Chain A
Amino acid sequence: MNSAPALRPTIKDVARAAGVHFTTVSIALRGNSRIPPATRDRIIATAMELGYRRDDVSTALARRRNAVERDRESAPTIGYVTNRSEVNGLFRQANQQRLFAGAQRQAQVLGYRLEVISVDTGAYSSDSLQEYLRRQRITGIILGSFEPGRAAPEFNFGDLCAVSIDSRHIQGPAQSVSHDRLRAVETAFHQLTTKGYRRIGLAIAQLDEEATDRMHMSGYLLAQSRVSAPSRLPALLFPTEAVSEAVITRLLRTWIREHAIDAVLCNWTNIRKLVRQSGYRVPGEVGCACLCLSRRLPGMAGVVAEMEMVGAKALSQVISLMHRQDRAYQLVPTSVFVEGHWVDGASAPARHF
C-alpha cells in the first residue's frame, strides 16, 4: 500500500490514446458488433496496454439503475460462518448469541442482511461452501468464533472480504476482532489482589487458549510479574481430552489443594459450580471470578465482555473491506480488542486476614 491512490485510466484515456470518441470505446469494450472488428481489436489492445479495468462498483450501480425491476428492498448478504450450530448446541451459548446479535444489528444499520452459515461436520466441504457463497453472491464473511476441535473448512480468502472473531487456531483472514482477554485477566487479577486474595490461579481450557492466541496466559504472566514470587502459581490448563465434568472437577481439586489456591479465574461462566463440585466452598474457601461474563449476574464477580460490540465491529470491518476491494490494497494485519468491564459479585467478596 502506501502509494497514492493513483487515478485509474478511464475510457476517456483509452479514447484519447486510440483516437476515437469515448462512447466508441465503451461500445467496443462491451464487444458490440456495431464497431468494425479491426477498430474494436485496436481499442481493446489500447485498453489493455493502459491497464484499463472496468470499475466493478460503477458497473454494479449502473446495472441496478438500468434494471427494469428496481428493487431497493433486497439487501446484500454477509455470511456469518461458524462451526457452532443449533444442532451441536454451541450456537446457543449466551456469548455466542450476543456476538451474532451485535453483528446482525450493525448489518441492519448499514443496510445488509446477515445469514448464519453453519459448517459443522458434514454440512459443507470447502468446495461446496465456496460454491454456495458464490451462488448466493456473498463476498463478505465473518468467521464467527470457531470452536477448536470441530470442522473448519479452508477458505480462499483471496476471493472474500473476511474478518474473524477469535478463531485464531485456524488459518484465518488477516483481520480479527476479539474480547480483550489479556486485559480481562489483568483486571480480574488486580481486583482480587485488592480484595485481599493472595493465591490467585488461572484455570483455562487448552482449546480456548488456542482459539484466542494465548491471551489469557499473556495476561496471567503479566499480572504475576507484578506480585511477589511466592504468589506466582502455575495455571491449570484443562487438556483437550478433559471433556467430562468429573475429570474437570478432579483436576480442579488437585490443583487447588496442591497450590493452596484462594481464588480461581476462569473464562467459563459455570466455574463457581465446578469449584463447588470439586469440594470447596465458594466463596468461603475459594473465591471465583469469570473472565467472560455475558451479563451482570447477581452471584458472580468477573469481567463482563462486550460481545455485541465485538460482533458489530467485525461486521463494520467486513463492510469496509468490501468497499475498498477494488483498490489494490494490501491488507495490513490487525487485531482489534474490545475491553470488558469488571463487576463485583458474591463469588469474590473482599477478604480480611
Chain B
Amino acid sequence: MRRCRRPTLRDIAHLAGNVHPSTVSLALRNQDGVAQATRERIQAIARQIGYRRDPLLDAFNQHRIRCCLHKRRPVVAYITDVRDHVAIQRRLWEAIQAAAARLHCQIAPFFIAGGDMRADRLDAILAARGVQAVIVGPFATNAPCLRMQWSKYCGIRIESLDTQYPGYFVTTDHRNSARMAVAELRVRGFRRIGLMLPTDVPRGQEALMRAGFLLAQHEFHPDERITTLELLPNRGAEERVQRWARQHHLDSVLTTSPLLHGIASAAAVPWACLEITGDDRKVSGMAPRFDDLADLAIEQVVARLRSNVRGDPRAIIGTYVPAEWRDGESLGGGASPKITVAEAGSGGR
C-alpha cells in the first residue's frame, strides 16, 4: 500500500498558484526577497497542509550556513541605552561586533540616550530598514522605547535584566559568580568575606549576586556570615567601607562596580570583583564570557528568524552563562597566615 507522502515545498507551490518552489522555500525562511503578502499567504498554506521541515535537510542547511559565506546577511538591530553601565556597554558592543562578523550578520546599532526615543518611532525606523531581529543591550528599567510591537520581531535581551522586553534573554550567571568567587576566596584562606554592592548595580543583577553570596555563606558557620553593604561610590564612602570592614573583622571584600575598586583598595582589604569588564590583570575575580553571550544572542535570534518564529515567548526564558575566575593582584598573596590558622578550625560546613 502506498504510504501517505509528506507535503513538500512543491505541494505548497502548487497550492499557492503561480509560485516557484524556491519562492516557497524563501518565504518559509522569511527572507525579505519575497513580498510580505506573498510570504504570509505561503506560510498560511504551509500551516494548513501540515508542512514539516525535513530534519536531515535542516541539518544540512544549518551546516552550510556555517561553512559558506552568504550573499544576503541577516540584519540584526542592537538597541541599548548608552548613558549607563559604560564599561559593560563598551565591552558588550565589541563582543557583539565580533560575534556578528563570525556569524555572518550585519549589525545596525541604535545607541539611545534614555527616553529620547518613542516605541512607535523605533518600530517605524526598523520597518523602514527591514530589520526583524533585535538584540536589546543594557537598559534602565522600563525604557518606553522598548514597548515595541514585539510580535513582529525575533528579539532577545543581553545583560539586561531590568527590562521586561523581550521575553528571551541571555545573561552572565551572576548567582554562580558570587558563589564561585566565595569558594575561590575560601580556597585562598579567606574566611571573613564581605559583599559590597553599590546602589547603581542593576536590580536583577544585584538580586542574583546577593542570592549566590547568601547561598555560599549559608553553608558556613554562622559567625562567618557577613551582611552585605550597599553604598554609593561618593565622598565618605571610603570611610564607611573601612568602618564596615573593621566592624565585621573582614579579611576580604567582593564588589562589582569599577568605581568601587578604588574604594575597596583604599580600605586596605584584599578584594575581588564579581564582574570584571576590562583586561586589567590587576583585578582578581569573575570575568563574564561576553563573547559567548554575544554569540548565543545572535545565534538565537538568527535561528528564530530563519525558522520564522516571531514574537515573545509565553513565559520568560533566560539563558545563563557562568563567568570564569581570573587571578590578579587585588587579592594580594592570599589571606595572611595568622587568619588562616586561627580560622581554619571553624571553616567549612
Contact = CB atoms under 8 A, between A and B. Distances in A.
Interface of A: 1-5, 7-8, 55, 57-58, 60-61, 64, 72-73, 75-76, 108-112, 180, 182, 186, 214, 217-219, 221-222, 225, 306, 309, 313, 319-320, 322-324, 326-327, 332-341
A324 B66 contact: yes
A327 B318 contact: no
B26 interface: no
B87 interface: no
B66 A110 contact: no
B175 A218 contact: yes
Contacts of A327: 63, 66
Nearest to A2: B291
A337 B320 contact: yes
A72 B5 contact: yes
**Which 6 residue pairs spanning A and B have beta carbons closest together?**
A221-B214, A323-B62, A222-B211, A111-B55, A339-B316, A218-B211
B160 to A, nearest CB: 16
Contacts of B289: 332
Contacts of A340: 315
B235 interface: no
9 contacts: A2-B291, A4-B101, A60-B56, A61-B56, A182-B211, A222-B210, A309-B313, A309-B314, A336-B318
Given A217-B215, A309-B313, A332-B321, A7 B67 contact: yes
Contact of A309 (B62, B303, B315, B321): B315
Nearest to A214: B215
Contacts of B102: 2-5
B212 interface: yes
A72 B54 contact: yes
Most buried by A among B5, B58, B215, B289: B215
Contacts of B313: 309
B54 A111 contact: yes
A334 to B, nearest CB: 5
A243 B335 CA distance: 44
B245 to A, nearest CB: 20
A108 B50 CA distance: 11
Interface string B308-333: 00000111111111100000000000
Nearest to B209: A222
Given A182-B175, A218-B215, A323-B62, A313 B317 contact: yes
Given A110-B53, A218-B214, A324 B291 contact: no
Contact of A111 (B52, B173, B228): B52
A4 B7 CA distance: 37
Interface in B91-106: 98, 101-102
Nearest to A306: B315
B289 to A, nearest CB: 7
A225 B210 contact: yes
A221 B218 contact: yes
Most buried by A among B62, B67, B98, B320: B67
A334 B170 CA distance: 10
A21 B60 CA distance: 26
A73 B6 contact: yes
Nearest to B101: A4
Contacts of B5: 72
Contacts of A4: 101-102
A186 B164 CA distance: 17
A320 B3 CA distance: 30
Contact of A73 (B3, B212, B316): B3
A7 B321 CA distance: 28
A214 to B, nearest CB: 6
A55 B211 contact: no
A103 to B, nearest CB: 15
B63 A219 contact: no
A323 B63 contact: yes
Contacts of B218: 217, 221
B315 A57 contact: no
